[in-house]
């Protein structure tokens, strides 16, 4: 069922394993970039994008955790370094990548699925 | 990025998806969720998108967010301490009703005591004592003298205990103990905490007196009562007083023990006695507190308070993020009874330390620690003992190590200040003695590992000292030079000490249950070998210092065993002889049982007997303790053991005989008498077992032979049973 969405294309000069969908290779280009992931309980994690699996679980490196100090928002944030973390897709509510405005436009333009 | 901030402020609903965390210069946060979701659909099951440096093994160590066992940042009841306080989780005063206020404060004190015991037992400070919100904000309680003084003293006590444990470095395997990052330990001047507590105590004393007299004579005093209910006044005053006094004496005790050179030990003992009597009062107050607890109050399921009520103002989840990088651990706070029991044991252990005579003797100090360790003291008391033993590189901070070594080696006092102590290997030896003293104060597991490793250092130092000795004095066998004598004596002492460490290393293995029944044969055989050498060196050293020692010992074994013939053998060596017989007897009996197929070693696919031998004794073999010992020697010396010859050898009878004879030498030493009785008992029982087995003749499958350590910590007793 995965194949009906995007046609596998040969990545030119890219990954060694040859066949890879355009969307996968675009995600691959995000690796090692600063990624900001929000989760259900209101915390955010800012770290280097290290890995993602089929289920959408994300691993971030050198992560900083941001959390509100009060339930009512907006409230001051407190932060701490927590290193290598795995964020299960089930608790992820948002995901942003640090990029220039030009790049943002190209990232956002997903081909119709 | 400014635009983002504003956008977030304007529309709070978008906070979730548009964080106010700044992106880099000239860049924005682009939402990639749709892209990620789409890409995931294109992936095959088991596929990952990752870079070249990806390492699955390393990735496995990632903390899993929202897993309660890994994620210490998970939001709990409150998001922060401030929020908890604003929501009234820790009110000051706890109640406007003074009776309720006092009752709640007693619950807080009790729960803190339970937390403190749990902390001492190796949990993190943040999750135990500092789960108390009142402790976390020192300034908040200042309007409430009673609560404030107690909290201040609690913080000061934690700081004092923490510094002792951190300084002694006895906590290596219990390293959660000293983690205190981010906790207000000193906060307000600790030295000011006692005057306030004393003032509070004085007030309550007067209130107690007032209520006692007023009940008799109905005199209205100008003293405001502690709380509103006159019927409960006396009970609450007493309950508070014993709790405050316990805190005060416990703090004084810690301070006295910290004094240099053991100068405060006498005083410390007085405070220990006071602490123990206050604990008895605390226990006595329980009935009153339970009876006066309101029926509607929340039940304390862990029973951490005397009253059985849930204490107010505790939340362990608020600062569990402070325990990073370790993940939060599930802990159970001790119940109140158990906490009191812990403190009583701690106080008794500290009392043993304080009553030590501080004899200027290394041997006495080492034996004292070994004896002390038998009662399995906890971390806090072991740390205190270690700090007392070694201060500024001196024994008890009083006696230079070199002079202690020369004394132990039986040298005259002139040797204590000899220039030889500047020899680099002598200095190395001093350092090793300091390390040894520190190591034997640690917990059994850590201690055994370190002792095993240090054996090689002792061996190497011995060789280096011997070389230095030869370089200085050549190969002459006799010399009246004091330097010659110092070297000669110290060399023997180093060997003796090395075997003493080896013996301790082997016996601690029993305490840690490192040996299986099937390893006993080789363990006792090795203990026998080590003891023979230890006895030989000890005999030589004692002989040298009393001037009757022979220059070169031949094979000492036979002369040593013939105790009756040699009147020069000291009681200490004789004691070792009884142990030698016991170890040899056990080793040979086990070997005979194996040789005659009465017990069968397990057929393990994992390790052969040879491999087990190496695993058990690797550190001893590496240090050549003694030279020329190998699995081969073990096999050869046990191969011929059988019951017909074993009965003739009378190992156990000899051991029993020597133990009996020695009793007159140690009549004033109850510990030693008990040890001799144990040895006698084990020898007697084993002798009976041996006779029974040998009478059975051919191996009988219905007879089961097993070994138990119920009579002695490391000498087993054989049990013969017919099933």
User: What is the spatial distance between Cα B201 and Cα B232, in angstroms, rounded to a whole number?
Assistant: 18
pLDDT in tens, B50-106: 998 898 888 998 999 988 778 877 777 788 888 889 889 999 999 999 999 999 999
The C-alpha R_g of chain A, in whole angstroms, comes to 16
pLDDT in tens, A10-31: 333 334 455 678 889 889 999 9
CB contact under 8 A, A69 and B80: yes
Lowest pLDDT segment from B62-71, B238-247, B276-285, B426-435: B62-71
Structure tokens at B715: 């000498």
Preferred mutation among A96, A98, A101, A106 to probe B, highest tally of B CBs within 10 A: A96
Closest Cα partner for B155 from B177, B175, B180? B180
Lowest pLDDT segment from B94-103, B151-160, B166-175, B322-331: B322-331
User: pLDDT at residue B344 above 50?
Assistant: yes
For chains A and B, what is the number of CB pairs under 8 angstroms?
201
Whether the Cβ atoms of residue B333 and residue B315 lie closer than 8 Å to each other = no
Lowest pLDDT segment from A100-109, B145-154, B280-289, B545-554: B545-554
Strands (E), B382-502: 390-391, 394-395, 399-400
Preferred mutation among A18, A61, A94, A100 to probe B, highest tally of B CBs within 10 A: A94
CB contact under 8 A, A44 and B23: no
> Mean of the pLDDT values across residues B461-484?
83
User: pLDDT at residue B566 above 70?
Assistant: no
**With helix as H, strand as E and coil as C, how does B153-213 read?**
HHHHHHHHHHHHHHHHCCCCCCCCCCCCCCCCCCCCCHHHHHHHHHHHHHHHHHHHHHHHH
Q: Which residues of B touch A3 (CB under 8 A)?
A: 42
The confidence score (pLDDT) of residue B208 equals 92
Higher pLDDT, B195 or B330: B195
Structure tokens at B339: 């906490």
Q: Which residues partner with B708 through β-bridges?
A: B717
Whether the Cβ atoms of residue A29 and residue A11 lie closer than 8 Å to each other = no
Domain spans of chain B, in order of start: 1-37, 81-347, 362-514
CB contact under 8 A, B19 and A38: yes
Which among A53, A87, A98 has the least Cβ separation from residue B29? A98
Preferred mutation among A51, A64, A89 to probe B, highest tally of B CBs within 10 A: A51
User: What is the spatial distance between Cα A67 and Cα A45, in angstroms, rounded to a whole number?
Assistant: 9
pTM of the model: 0.83
Give the C-alpha distances (Å, rounded to integers) separating B522 from A47, B599, B623. 56, 15, 18
> Mean of the pLDDT values across residues B703-712?
90
User: pLDDT at residue B371 above 50?
Assistant: yes
Side-chain half-sphere exposure of B376, counting CA atoms within 13 A: 8
Whether the Cβ atoms of residue A33 and residue B27 lie closer than 8 Å to each other = no
Q: Which residues of B touch A39 (CB under 8 A)?
A: 65-66
pLDDT in tens, B600-635: 777 777 788 899 999 999 999 999 888 888 999 999
The confidence score (pLDDT) of residue A34 equals 92
The confidence score (pLDDT) of residue B547 equals 63
User: What is the spatial distance between Cα B378 and Cα B121, in angstroms, rounded to a whole number?
Assistant: 7
Chain A residue with CA closest to B23: the answer is A98
Alpha helices, DSSP H only, in B259-361? Answer: 265-292, 336-354
Proportion of chain A above pLDDT 70, given as a percent: 75
CB contact under 8 A, B83 and A86: no
User: pLDDT at residue B358 above 70?
Assistant: yes
The confidence score (pLDDT) of residue B140 equals 92
> What is the DSSP annotation of B101-159?
HHHHHHHHHHHHHHHHHHHHTT--TTTTGGGBHHHH-GGGGGG-HHHHHHHHHHHHHHH
User: pLDDT at residue B554 above 50?
Assistant: no
The confidence score (pLDDT) of residue B556 equals 45
To the nearest whole Å, the CA of A28 is away from the closest chain B CA by 6
pLDDT-derived band at B695, boundaries 50, 70, 90 = confident
User: What is the spatial distance between Cα B34 and Cα B32, in angstroms, rounded to a whole number?
Assistant: 6
Whether the Cβ atoms of residue B15 and residue A74 lie closer than 8 Å to each other = yes
User: pLDDT at residue B581 above 80?
Assistant: yes
Higher pLDDT, B599 or A112: B599
The confidence score (pLDDT) of residue B174 equals 60
Whether the Cβ atoms of residue B68 and residue A41 lie closer than 8 Å to each other = no
Tokens 């197929």 identify what position?
B597
Tokens 């460490």 identify what position?
B501
The confidence score (pLDDT) of residue A90 equals 93
> Mean of the pLDDT values across residues B144-152?
94
> Mean of the pLDDT values across residues B306-317?
90
pLDDT in tens, A76-93: 888 888 899 999 999 999
Whether the Cβ atoms of residue B557 and residue B533 lie closer than 8 Å to each other = no
> Mean of the pLDDT values across residues B489-517?
94
The confidence score (pLDDT) of residue B13 equals 37
CB contact under 8 A, A53 and B48: yes
Highest-scoring range by mean pLDDT, B390-404, B468-482, B555-569: B390-404
Chain A residue with CA closest to B86: the answer is A70
User: pLDDT at residue B3 above 50?
Assistant: no
Q: Which residues of B touch A38 (CB under 8 A)?
A: 16-17, 19
Domains of chain A listed by start with CATH number: 1-30 (no CATH), 32-108 (2.30.30.100)
Q: Which residues of A touch B74 (CB under 8 A)?
A: 41
ipTM above 0.90, yes or no: no
> Mean of the pLDDT values across residues B191-199?
86
Q: Which residues of A touch B58 (CB under 8 A)?
A: 84
């Amino acid at each position: 069922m995965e194949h009906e969405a995007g046609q596998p294309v040969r990545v030119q000069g890219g990954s060694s394993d040859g066949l890879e969908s355009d969307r996968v290779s675009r995600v691959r280009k995000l690796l090692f970039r600063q990624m900001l992931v929000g989760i259900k309980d209101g915390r955010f994690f800012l770290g280097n994008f290290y890995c993602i699996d089929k289920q959408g679980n994300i691993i971030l490196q050198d992560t900083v955790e941001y959390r509100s100090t009060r339930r009512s928002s907006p409230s001051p944030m407190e932060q701490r370094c927590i290193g290598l973390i795995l964020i299960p897709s089930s608790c992820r509510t948002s995901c942003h990548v640090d990029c220039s405005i030009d790049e943002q436009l190209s990232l956002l333009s997903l081909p119709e699925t | 990025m400014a635009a983002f901030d504003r956008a977030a402020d304007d529309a709070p609903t978008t906070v979730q998806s548009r964080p106010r965390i700044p992106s880099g210069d000239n860049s924005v946060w682009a939402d990639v969720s749709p892209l990620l979701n789409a890409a995931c659909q294109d992936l095959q099951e088991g596929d990952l998108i990752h870079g070249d440096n990806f390492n699955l093994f390393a990735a496995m160590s990632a903390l899993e967010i929202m897993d309660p066992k890994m994620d210490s940042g998970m939001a709990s009841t409150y998001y922060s301490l401030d929020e908890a306080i604003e929501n009234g989780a820790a009110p000051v005063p706890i109640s406007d009703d003074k009776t309720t206020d006092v009752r709640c404060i007693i619950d807080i004190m009790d729960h803190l005591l339970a937390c403190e015991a749990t902390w001492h037992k190796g949990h993190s400070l943040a999750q135990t004592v500092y789960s108390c919100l009142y402790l976390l904000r020192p300034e908040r309680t200042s309007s409430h003298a009673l609560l404030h003084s107690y909290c201040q003293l609690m913080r000061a006590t934690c700081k004092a205990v923490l510094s002792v444990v951190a300084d002694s470095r006895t906590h290596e395997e219990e390293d959660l103990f000293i983690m205190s990052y981010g906790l207000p330990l000193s906060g307000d001047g600790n030295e000011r905490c006692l005057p306030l507590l004393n003032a509070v105590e004085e007030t309550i004393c007067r209130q107690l007196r007032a209520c006692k007299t007023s009940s008799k004579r109905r005199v209205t005093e100008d003293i405001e009562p502690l709380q509103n209910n006159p019927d409960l006044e006396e009970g609450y005053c007493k309950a508070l007083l014993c709790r405050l006094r316990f805190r005060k004496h416990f703090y004084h005790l810690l301070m006295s023990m910290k004094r240099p050179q053991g100068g405060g030990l006498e005083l410390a003992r007085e405070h220990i006695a006071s602490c123990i009597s206050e604990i008895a009062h605390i226990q006595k107050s329980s009935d009153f507190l339970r009876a006066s607890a309101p029926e509607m109050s929340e039940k304390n399921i862990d029973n951490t308070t005397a009253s059985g009520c849930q204490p107010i103002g505790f939340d362990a989840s608020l600062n569990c993020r402070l325990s990073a990088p370790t993940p939060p651990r599930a802990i159970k706070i001790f119940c109140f009874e158990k906490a009191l029991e812990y403190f009583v044991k701690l106080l008794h252990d500290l009392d043993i330390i304080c009553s030590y005579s501080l004899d200027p003797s290394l041997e006495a100090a080492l034996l004292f620690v070994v004896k002390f360790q038998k009662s399995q003291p906890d971390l806090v008391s072991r740390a205190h003992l270690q700090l007392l033993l070694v201060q500024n590189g001196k024994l008890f901070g009083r006696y230079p190590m070199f002079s202690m070594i020369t004394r132990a080696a039986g040298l005259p006092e002139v040797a204590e200040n000899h220039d030889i102590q500047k020899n680099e290997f002598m200095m190395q030896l001093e350092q090793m003695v300091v390390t040894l003293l520190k190591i034997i104060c640690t917990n059994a597991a850590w201690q055994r590992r370190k002792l095993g490793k240090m054996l090689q250092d002792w061996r190497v130092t011995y060789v280096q000292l011997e070389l230095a000795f030869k370089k200085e004095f050549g190969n002459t066998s006799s010399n009246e030079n004091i330097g010659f004598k110092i070297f000669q004596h110290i060399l023997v002492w180093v060997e003796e000490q090395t075997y003493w460490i080896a013996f301790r290393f082997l016996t601690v293995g029993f305490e840690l249950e490192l040996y299986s029944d099937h390893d006993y044969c080789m363990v006792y055989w090795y203990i026998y070998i080590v003891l023979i050498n230890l006895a030989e060196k000890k005999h030589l050293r004692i002989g040298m210092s009393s001037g009757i020692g022979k220059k070169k010992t031949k094979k000492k074994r036979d002369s040593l065993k013939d105790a009756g013939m040699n009147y020069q053998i000291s009681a200490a060596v004789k004691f070792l002889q009884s142990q030698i017989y016991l170890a040899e007897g056990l080793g040979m009996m086990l070997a005979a049982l194996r040789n005659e197929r009465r017990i069968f070693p397990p057929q393990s696919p994992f390790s052969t007997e040879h491999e087990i031998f190496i695993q058990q004794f690797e550190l001893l073999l590496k240090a050549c303790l003694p030279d020329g010992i190998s699995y081969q020697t073990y096999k050869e010396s046990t191969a011929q053991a059988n019951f017909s010859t074993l009965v003739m050898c009378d190992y156990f009878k000899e051991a029993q005989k020597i133990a009996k004879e020695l009793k007159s030498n140690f009549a004033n030493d109850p510990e030693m008498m008990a040890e001799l009785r144990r040895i006698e008992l084990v020898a007697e029982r084993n002798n009976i077992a041996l006779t029974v087995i040998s009478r059975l003749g051919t191996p009988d499958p219905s007879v089961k032979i097993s070994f138990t350590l119920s009579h002695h910590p490391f000498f087993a007793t054989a049990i013969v049973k017919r099933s």
